[in-house]
Amino acid sequence: MTDCFLNFDISLIVNLLFSVSGCDGRRVVGQTGQNVTLPCNYDIKTKGAVHVCWGRGEIPKSKCNNQLLSTDGHKVETRASSRYQLLGRLDEGDVSLTILILTEEDAGRYGCRAEIPGWFSDEKHHVDLTVERAADSVVLKSSPFTSSSSRSADHREPPDFLF
């Protein structure tokens, strides 16, 4: 009787440890001023449309920390800012978060939780976002036209451009 009870306890513990699926971690790099998409998907064909939330920081035991956006699986229900968008196909389980006009303050860890019915069955995904400062595309030198000593005083050379 003790062996059976012991096997049941170990089996239960192992199942609890491995039943929370999708606790993966991805890294995404974006540039200031650009849009960036943080990936998150769940199997809508077998799970059906479920509540999903996105938050900042670690994913807690339930719901999302510092919630940015949530959906009922069909449409967005809450949104902390219009900069947070779900532009993927919700009807295919694509709940990837797009952040518009990225700032340096957006850098950090994000969490996506798909609330799958049943004990310990939620799918959780972490994404670590690194934000790099975008390079300026064109910089003009501010020096005035310069005159050449070998040419007439009226002739001036055009300014230099840096690309």
pLDDT in tens, 62-81: 888 899 999 999 999 999 99
Contacting residues for 52 by C-beta, under 8 A, at least 6 apart? 40, 42, 70, 71, 73, 95, 112, 113, 114, 115
Percent of the chain past pLDDT 90, that is, above it, reads 61
Q: Does position 162 have pLDDT exceeding 60, yes or no?
A: no
Which pLDDT score, from 0 to 100, does residue 136 have? 65
Q: Which residues of 24-42 are buried (b: 16+ CB within 10 A; e: fewer)?
A: eeeeeebeeeeebbbebbb
Comparison of pLDDT for 140 and 121, the residue scoring more: 121
Q: Does position 118 have pLDDT exceeding 50, yes or no?
A: yes
> What residues does each domain of the chain span?
18-135
Work out whether the CA dihedral 21, 23, 25, 31 comes out positive or negative. Answer: positive
Confidence of residue 129 (pLDDT cuts 50, 70, 90): very high
Percent of the chain past pLDDT 70, that is, above it, reads 68
pLDDT tens for 10-59 read: 333 333 333 334 456 899 999 999 999 999 999 999 999 999 999 999 99
Which pLDDT score, from 0 to 100, does residue 5 have? 42
Comparison of pLDDT for 148 and 50, the residue scoring more: 50
Q: What is the CATH number of domain 18-135?
A: 2.60.40.10
Which pLDDT score, from 0 to 100, does residue 32 have? 97
